[in-house]
Structure 1
Amino acid sequence: MIKNIFWDFDGVLMNSNSVRDRGFELVLKDFPTAQVEQLMQFHRQNGGWSRYVKFRHFFEVIRKESISPEEIDVWAGKFSNVMLENLIDEKLLIDETITFVKSNFRDYNFHIVSGSDGNELRTICKALNIDPYFITIEGSPTPKSSLVADIIENRGYLPQQSILIGDSINDYDAAKDNGLHFKGYNSSKVEVLTDYDFSFHDS
C-alpha cells in the first residue's frame, strides 16, 4: 500500500518543460547558435538533470572552457530569474495531478523532488498557493537520488510503501536507487517503466 508519494515537478505537476527549454536559449543567446543547439540536445536527453550539470557541460564539454563553481552559480541564477518571470502562471499547472494532490494530501505524505533549483521551486509553489500540500519541496543542486534517500531516512519511510512519479529516466533511476515503486507520467518512453498500478482517479 502506497503511503508516500515523491513528485517530480516539471512535466508532472506543471507543463513547464517548454519554458525551461526556452530559458536556456535566452540565457545563452550571445553564444554561437550551433553550440546552444548542442546544449539543447544534451538538455532534452537528460531531462531530470540539474541546470548546474547542464551549464558545466556547455562550457567544459561543448566550449572546452574551464568554469568555476561560482561562475556556474551565476549562470544558474540568470536562468532562475528567467524561470521566475515565466513559471508563476496557474495556467501551466497540470489539472490531473494538481487536482489529485489537492484532494488527497491528507491521505498521503507528498514530497516534491526535482532537478530544478530548490529555492526557485519553493518560490513558484508558494506564489501558486500549492506549497501547503507538500511536506517538503526539494530540488537541485542536490541530485534527485540523494534527495529521495535523505527524505526516506529522515522521515523513516518504508521504500515499499513509497512511489516516485516522474517523466524522465532520471526519475526512474532515482526511484530504483532507493527501492521505490515508479510511475511514469506524461512521457511514452517513461510510462512503460511503470512498475506499480497507481491511478489518480481511485481516491
Structure 2
Amino acid sequence: MKFKTILWDFDGVILDSMQVRDFGFREIFKDFKPLDVDKLIDYHRYNGGLSRYVKIRYFFEEIIGRATTEQEILEYASRFSDIMLNALVDQKNLIKDSVSFIKGNYNNYKFHIVSGSDQEELRFLCKALNLDKYFLSIEGSPTAKSKLVKDIIIKHNYAMESTCLIGDSINDFEAADNNEISFFGYNNETLKELSPNYISTFRKDAIKLN
C-alpha cells in the first residue's frame, strides 16, 4: 500500500543540528569535567531521538552519579534552549535533500513532525525557518516520541499500514517499531542493520514511499 502519512524526525533529518547541539551541551555543562561531558556527547549522539530532559538527567544520575531534581533539569534545559534558539535559526542548517522533498510533496501526503526536541523551541524554529506550513502538526518533548506517534495515529485515525516514520536514530526506529508502523532510516547508515528501508537521498529513493 502506498504510504499516505509520513511522520518526520527533525534533527538530522530536516535540520543539520548535531554540532550545534553538541556545543549546547558542552556550554551548559562547561563547569563539569570535560571527560564527563564527552560521555554525555557520546550518549547524545547515539540517542539522537531522546529529549534533552532525558539526556540532562542521564548526565547527572548516570555519568556523574548524583541525584538531581525536576527544577534543576528544567533550568539546564532552559539554558540549552536559549543557546539553540540563537544558533539554529539559519536557513543554511536545513538539509536541502529532505526539505526539497517536503516542499514538493506536502500536498501528496499527510506530514507531521515528531521530535525529541523541546516542543515550544521546535515550533518556534519551524515558524522562523518557514517550515510550519508544510506540517499538520509539530510535536516534541517532553512527551516521549513513542507516545507522540501513538497519539497522532489515534487522533487522526491513521491506518498503521499506510503510515511511516523517517528518522536518523535508534530511538526513531524504536518509536516506529513500538507503534507497529514502517520505519525509514535516513542520514545514518548504521540504521540499515535495523530496517530494510533506507533512504540514501530523496531524489533517488523517494519512490520507496509510494
Normalising by structure 2, what TM-score?
0.92
Contact residue 185 and residue 198 of structure 2 kept, 8 A: no
CA distance in 2, matches of 1:18, 1:57: 20
Determine whether 1:18 maps to 2:6: no
Task: Tell me the matched-pair count.
Answer: 203
Partner Cα separation in structure 1 for residue 202 and residue 33 of structure 2: 44
The answer on whether the counterparts of 2:185 and 2:197 sit within 8 Å (CA) in structure 1 is no
Instruction: State the match for 1:67 in structure 2.
Output: 68
Which residue identity lines up with residue 36 of structure 2 in the other structure?
Q
Letter in 2 for 1:100: F
Q: Which runs of 4+ in 1 moved over 6 A?
A: none
TM-score (norm 1): 0.95
Q: What secondary structure does 2:164 align onto?
A: strand
Match of 2:150 in 1: 149
**2:131 is equivalent to residue 134 of structure 1:** no
- Asked if the contact 2:46–2:170 (Cα under 8 Å) also holds between the matched residues in 1, the reply is no
Note if 1:180 corresponds to 2:186.
no
Q: CA deviation at 1:44?
A: 1.9
Distance 1:194 1:64 in 2: 35
Question: What letter is aligned with 2:81?
Answer: S
**Structure 1: which 5+ runs fail to align?**
none
Q: What's the % identity of the aligned pairs?
A: 49
Which amino acid in the other structure matches residue 40 of structure 1?
A: I
Contact persistence 2:48–2:169 (CA under 8 A): yes
Q: Report the counterpart of residue 49 of structure 1 in structure 2.
A: 50
Whether the aligned pair in 1 keeps the contact of 2:6 and 2:109 (CA below 8 Å) is: yes
Kindly tell me: are residues 195 and 158 of structure 1, through their superposed partners in 2, closer, same or farther at Cα, counting changes over 3 Å?
farther
* 1:33-52 Cα deviation digits (max 9, x unpaired): 12111211221222211111
SS of corresponding position for 1:75: helix
State the shift of 1:200 in Å. Answer: 3.0
**Structure 2 residue aligned with 1:93:** 94
| Alignment root-mean-square deviation, CA | 1.5
Residues 84 and 120 of structure 1 are in contact (CA less than 8 Å); yes or no, is this contact kept in structure 2? yes
Query: Is the Cα–Cα contact under 8 Å of residues 186 and 198 in structure 2 kept in the other structure?
Result: no
Contact 1:185 1:191 (C-alpha < 8 Å) held by counterparts = no
Structure 2 residue 118 is the aligned partner of structure 1 residue 80: no
Extract unaligned runs of 5+ from structure 2. none
Is the deviation greater in 60-69 or in 49-58? 60-69
Cα deviation, residue 196, structure 1: 4.4
**Matched AA of 1:83:** M
Per-residue CA deviations over 1:31-85 (Å, capped at 9, x if unaligned) read 1112111211221222211111111011112222211112111111110110001
Answer whether contact 1:183 1:191 (CA < 8 A) is retained: no
Distance 1:110 1:191 in 2: 23
